[in-house]
Amino acid sequence: MRRTPSLAGALLLAAWALYITVVTASNLTDLFSSFGWEHWAFRSGNLAYITKATSIYFHNAHANQALLALVIVWEGASALLLWLAALRWARAGQAALAGARRGLVLLGLLWFGFAISTEFFIAYDRGVNESAYWTLATAILATLITLEIWARSQPPAGRHAHGPAGHEST
């Protein structure tokens, strides 16, 4: 029985889902703190990061809060898709590949968007480093390639490589 790729795939997807869930939560607490609603120690500081990056073009707290809110929605959607893909991969293996692709690509596009925004806002001039975004995007692509390879190495659902007596199935 070849459960290793199914388990490993589910764990990889769950790890990405957990990571982006924690990132989303810390961004949400950062946004809530900016409204004066609550002040948690657990917050990302990304609103200050966005404010620093956008300062070349504007100084508008509401616009920066809206940008962080957009990021939170994007991250939350990615997290949801990745949790669903992890659960499905654990049950169905390669049948979950399309869902895994959606979640990973959506998350990867977020990191590409941050890297592009760093260039657009010429933020590297003010100490904003985009290398972490490229590292995360590369890790996501590596995860996607790994899942694609594992999915192709498994026989299609309902079909086994060998028949009951160990003979090749036809």
Each residue's pLDDT tens digit, 146-167: 999 988 887 665 555 444 444 4
Question: CA torsion sign, 75 to 76 to 79 to 80?
Answer: negative
Determine what percent of the chain is predicted with pLDDT higher than 70. Answer: 85
Q: Are 52 and 116 in contact (CB under 8 A)?
A: no
Q: Which two tokens stand for residue 167?
A: 């003979």
In Å, how far from its chain's centre is CA 114? 13
DSSP 126: G
What is the distance between the alpha carbons of residues 127 and 125, in angstroms, rounded to a whole number?
Answer: 6
DSSP secondary structure code for residue 31 in this structure? H
Amino acid in position 48: A
Element (H, E) at 162: none
Q: Report the pLDDT value the prediction gives residue 1, as an integer from 0 to 100.
A: 44
For the stretch 110-150, pLDDT in tens is 999 998 988 888 766 767 778 899 999 999 999 999 999 98
Helix 131-153 to helix 4-34 angle (10° resolution) is 150
Per-residue pLDDT of 34-80, as tens digits, reads 999 888 899 999 999 999 888 889 999 999 999 999 999 999 999 99
